[in-house]
Every structure is written in structure tokens, then in C-alpha cells.
Amino acid sequence: MTRLSVNINKIATLRNARGGNIPDVTKAAIDCQRFGAQGITVHPRPDERHIRYNDVRDIKKIVKTEFNIEGYPSKSFNELVLSVLPDQVTLVPDQPGAITSNQGWDTVSRQSFLSDIVAMFQSYGIRTSLFTGTDVRYIEHAAKTGTNRIELYTEPYARDYPKDRELAVEPFVRAAVLAGELGLGLNAGHDLNLDNLKFFNDKVPGLLEVSIGHALISDALYYGLENTIQLYLRQLE
């Protein structure tokens, strides 16, 4: 069964909009685990507009499932990750002001840079994953960095799914097959939801983990967090 990692950034966004500690981000992480999530994902950004660096440290203390930290490998991000030692670090090519992750790495031009970062994190026993598109070149060069996994950027799939789901998933199937041939573990994330997740999971071979935040937290407003996590888990069976 593909693992579900819940990204709790949006809960932090809601808290920060009002100030104080409601909703409690750490309690949300505890509850997501209790309700069946097999991982917790956070993506701290330099401006701390949602998850703050202190949140990451607090969440580390209570996570009993997998802890995944996403982000651009800046000096401050790297220091945070090494101080926390999560199970997995997912490296994304976000610029500081990016609203959300909207592209994968150019692993051709950034291969040397990424190789050094991957090696550093792995030396501390942290599994590494690179956020990539489905371009064959980028997946092949991701493998050359020594990364353990790639995370496929699935916004193009989600965008095209309503028009032609077979055509939308086709490049991701090819990318998954190539990743397997190269010995890369496979994660996926971005805009996966209750409408498109099951089809993606059924079609894409070797999928180990999906990271879902915005859609899942939005659904929880209607269905409740516990029920929503169960709904997503059923799509992954």
C-alpha cells in the first residue's frame, strides 16, 4: 500500500492568520498520526509564513511515524534539517518568494550542487528525495546525484485529469518505470486529491508515498480530519 504523508502547512497558515496557537500545529500532527496517516510532512519557508522553524523542532519530538521535511537547501534550511534529523528530506527548487512548489529540479545544470547536498544529508542517515518532473533527462541526472528517491511533481497530471485521465497519467507511468530501472524510490505530490488520487495510484508502478496537504486539509473542513484521512487512505488501498 502506498503511504500517505499529510502536509500540515495549511494548518499553520490558519494559525498564523490570527496569531496565537489556534489551531495547534503540533496537536494536528499528533491527530493525523492517530487517525492513520503514515507520515507527517512540513515545508518551512524562509519567511515562515506557515510552518515555522520552531514548529519543525516541536513536531520532531512527537512524530512516531515518518517525518518528512521539504524545502530549498539554503544554509538555514540545511542547518534546521541537521538539527532535527528527520526520516526524509525532500529537496525542492523553490525561490524564496514562491507561493507553492511549481516545478521540479533541473538536475542537469544543478547535478553537482545537488550531489553535494544529497551526500551531506545521507551522511547523517537521512533519506533524500528530489522533487522532479517527468522529463527523462532530469530523472536520469537525479539518479546520478545519488539520491534515494524522487518525488514526481503531479500538478500537470491533476490539471489534465478532468480532460483525459489516461493521457494525463501516461508521462508519470513512463517516469515511474524509468525510476525503477535506475534504482530510485518513487514519491509523488502536488494537487493530488480525492478525485484523482486512486487512478494515479492504480496506474503508476512502484509508488511508495504521496504527500498531500492543501486538498486534504480543505476536505477536512467538510468531512472532519479523521474521516478525511480515512477517505484518502482508501484511495491508496
**Catalytic annotation on 70?**
yes
219-229 burial, b at 16+ Cβ within 10 Å, e below that, comes to bbeeeebeebb
Catalytic residue, candidates 50, 66, 70, 209: 70
Q: Are 78 and 56 in contact (CB under 8 A)?
A: no
For residue 93, is the peptide bond before it cis, meaning its omega torsion is within 30 degrees of 0?
A: no
**Catalytic annotation on 50?**
no
The three three-digit cell numbers of residue 211, written as one number: 504527500
The three three-digit cell numbers of residue 235, written as one number: 484511495
Catalytic residue, candidates 50, 141, 151, 190: 190
d(CA 167, CA 150): 22
Catalytic residue, candidates 43, 50, 66, 209: 43
Nearest to 58 by CA among 42, 72, 39, 46: 42
Q: Are 205 and 185 in contact (CB under 8 A)?
A: no
- The H helix count followed by the E strand count for the chain is 11, 8
Taking the CA atoms of residue 189, residue 93, residue 214 and residue 155 in that order, the dihedral angle to the nearest 10 degrees is: -50
Catalytic residue list: 43, 70, 190
